Amino acid sequence: MDGFKKIIFFLALFFYNFSLAGIGDRYIFQPDKKAVFNKCQEATKRGHLIINERIPRSSEKIRFYYKNKIGAKAIIIHFHGNAGSACGRIPLAERLQGIAANYIFVEYPGFGKGERKPTQRRALKNALKVYDFIQSNMNTKNLPVFAHGTSLGTGVVTYLAWKRPLDGIILHAPYTSMKDVADHLFKWGGRFVTKNTFMAQNWAPYVKAPALSLHARVDEMIPLRIGDEQRNNFTNVEFLDSVVFNNGNHMGIYNNPRYWLSIADFIKKVLD
């Protein structure tokens, strides 16, 4: 290959890679296209308030479902994974036994027929605004506030715990970054994730709140080795408890009674 052909070849290769760069970002968020936030039957059936508030001096909204429990000892803010909707997670609140807590199920911008396209920047900003709104308007008894993240949501929770004083965090299948997860799912997949990277590994060292990690031993989406690597990044937390489930997969561990018992025990441990 002579010099001119080499130049043409490498230019073509460059523009090919450039055209593919970021293509993986569109697959990070997979909202349920049928879900409409304000028409959540699960919320209506279970008596949850539907909060849909526009952020002052912004075009963004915060949206979440909330139910106040008599005798609640804590507030748990839940951030779901990359697919579905917050509406579909509402029944999870009834699985937590042994401690009364007010579960809040946050919807991401762009999900539930949201006005804007979902992005990392909007998801992280939204988490901060939700926390601030809850503390200013809903936590009149000054209850301890925990955050519970599932899959993609563990990155959001890690960021929130860095930026706000949470009392504890619960991480269901934590990861180092979405680039690493993409590399696991597809050969060289990480190179195509350039915007919605969720670099949780960079935020973890700043977290001081106690942490609980819940992970399936065989997780087809976020393998345990990635979770182990991320757990090691929490170098400044007060303590970190880790539970590995021999039965169940990425989402299946929700159905393990030990999952919810571990959460209740963790909250009690923090509050004692």
Domain ranges of the chain: 3-271
Q: What is the pLDDT of residues 38-74, one digit of tens each?
A: 999 999 999 999 999 998 877 789 999 999 999 999 9
* Total number of residues shown for the chain: 272
Residue 257 confidence (pLDDT)? 95
Question: How many other C-beta atoms are found inside a 10 Å radius of the C-beta of residue 271?
Answer: 14
Q: What is the pLDDT of residues 99-132, one digit of tens each?
A: 999 999 999 999 998 778 999 999 999 999 999 9
For residues 160 and 146, give the distance between their C-alpha atoms in angstroms, rounded to a whole number: 10
Dump pLDDT digits (tens) for 139-189: 999 999 999 999 999 999 999 999 999 999 999 999 999 999 999 998 888
Whether residue 134 contacts residue 75, with contact meaning beta carbons closer than 8 Å, is answered with yes
pLDDT class of 23 with cuts at 50, 70, 90: low
Q: Which long-range contacts (CB under 8 A, 24 or more apart) does 117-123 make?
A: 118/29, 118/31, 119/29, 119/195, 119/196, 120/28, 120/195, 120/196, 120/197, 120/198, 122/60, 123/156
> pTM for this structure?
0.91
E strands, 36-172, are 49-54, 61-66, 74-79, 83-84, 101-107, 145-150, 168-172
- Residue 267 CB neighbours (<10 A): 24
The pLDDT value recorded for residue 211 is 99
Residue 157: per-residue pLDDT: 99
**Rounded to 5 degrees, what are φ and ψ at 222?**
-120, 95
- Distance between CA atoms of residues 260 and 241, nearest Å: 14
Q: What is the pLDDT of residue 21?
A: 44
Please report which residue ranges of the chain form alpha helices under DSSP H: 3-20, 41-46, 120-137, 152-163, 178-185, 200-203, 224-231, 257-271
Provide the β-strand partners of residue 61.
54
DSSP reduced 3-state for 187: coil
* % of the chain exceeding 90 in pLDDT: 83
CATH, domain 3-271, list 3.40.50.2300, 3.10.50.40, 3.40.50.1820, 3.30.70.3190: 3.40.50.1820
Please state at what angle helix 120-137 crosses helix 152-163, rounded to 10 degrees: 50
pLDDT at 114: 79
199-244, pLDDT tens digit by residue?
999 999 999 999 999 999 999 999 999 999 999 999 999 999 999 9
For residue 253, the 8-state DSSP code is G
- Looking at residue 213, its pLDDT comes to 99
Q: Identify the three-state secondary structure at position 23.
A: helix
The predicted pLDDT at position 8 comes to: 45
The predicted model gives 30-37 an average pLDDT of 94
In the three-class reduction of DSSP (H, G, I as helix; E, B as strand; rest coil), residue 34 is classed as coil
Instruction: Single out the residue of 206, 219, 212, 269 nearest to residue 248, CA to CA.
Output: 219
Instruction: Indicate the average pLDDT of the chain.
Output: 91
Report whether pLDDT(17) > 60. no
Q: Does 256 have pLDDT greater than 50? A: yes
